[in-house]
Amino acid sequence: MFVRSYSTRTLLSALALLLVMVAGACGDDDTTAAPGGEEEATTLRLGYFPNLTHATAIAGVKKGIFKAALGRDELEVSTFNAGPAAVEALFSDALDATYIGPNPAINAFVKSKGEAVRIISGATSGGAALVVKPNITDAEQLKGKRIASPQLGGTQDVALRHWLSEQGLKTQVTGGGDVSILPQENAQTLETFKLGEIDGAWVPEPWATRLRLEGGGTVLVDEKSLWPEGRFVTTHLIVRTEFLEKHPATVRRLLQGQIEANEFVNGDAAGAQKLVNDGIEKITTKRLKDEVIQEAWKSLEFTNDPVASSLATSAKHAQKVGLLEDPDLDGIYDLTLLNEVLKSAGQKEIAP
């Protein structure tokens, strides 16, 4: 057997060279490590709707605010007509975060036993109404009529069913009852309203204004009138809990973009209206008339506050009309990162 002998000095020199090589391999050539030891770059899949109630999201995407805020993280966007479809995308791991109404967020939280999602910011308050034919002037006249909502179990659908129940009018999820509720996409609702196939609809902006200005309808119920101080959550931002836990830095950057986008839509109404209109046209292929967007804008409040008090009430409404069981919402909010970003920006923190 042949055995080679090494001196202690030789061994130490070899070890030192190995350590240098390892350190070099972990240095500048490592493209996955984030600066400052932060988490690795990822792709954020964000959802929103082509509605004025999602103006913050549309502006954030169209103006490049989210992309700039996310930095090295990639942004992929998807659009939806109503909340339940967005929730399905979250549950199937096709989406990481989405702007959405309160009731679909509640449904997602309750169905997953409080595990699947967290509300991390507000976006919009107000901007929803029941618009009907001019000959309908009170609730009693709705008996036997056909009223549309964007989607069964959606925010406006729950608001409509609960309000009808408060007026003593029964509804059924299958469409029967004293008032027949028909889930329809908002664009379809405008056409069926014009054709006289439906008698009204509870819809978000800009559709409430379009039903009035283009369809000749009148507002029977402005939803603001049903809430304390006229404030209620129409749109907030939710994220998959798993994504929040794995990529908190990415979520923080998204929230920085959210705050900046709201500052833009609140600070430059004319510029924001044009930009949002551009975004809606790109998604729907149809542009809103200037008078529609200007009129609808008046009913909206763009805010980072999720108006948490209204969420619990919405959950009770959904339960009352048979669309939700035992709405335990403990833990649905996680405003930690939002408040950190607000504090850094010198803005007031928000209590859940």
Q: Would you say residue 57 has pLDDT above 90?
A: yes
Q: Is the pLDDT assigned to residue 135 strictly greater than 90? A: yes
DSSP states of 271-311: HHHHHHHHHHHHHHS-PPPHHHHHHHHTTEEE-S---HHHH
Residue 326 CA: distances (Å) to CA of 87, 118, 184, 318: 19, 18, 27, 10
- Which residue is associated with the tokens 């060279």? 17
Q: Answer yes or no: are the C-beta atoms of 151 and 183 closer than 8 Å.
A: yes
Which residue, chain included where needed, has tokens 């949002």?
Answer: 276
Q: How does DSSP classify residue 325?
A: S
Closest CA relative to residue 189, chosen from 241, 157, 147: 147
How far is residue 191's CA from residue 198's CA, in Å, rounded to a whole number? 9
182 band by pLDDT with thresholds 50, 70 and 90 = very high
Mean pLDDT of 198-223: 96
Determine the pLDDT at residue 83.
86
Percentage of the chain exceeding pLDDT 90:
75
Q: What is the pLDDT of residue 37?
A: 52
What is the band of 38 on the pLDDT scale with cuts at 50, 70, 90? low
pLDDT band at 84 (very low <50, low <70, confident <90, very high): confident
Residue 51: which pLDDT band, with cuts at 50, 70 and 90?
A: confident
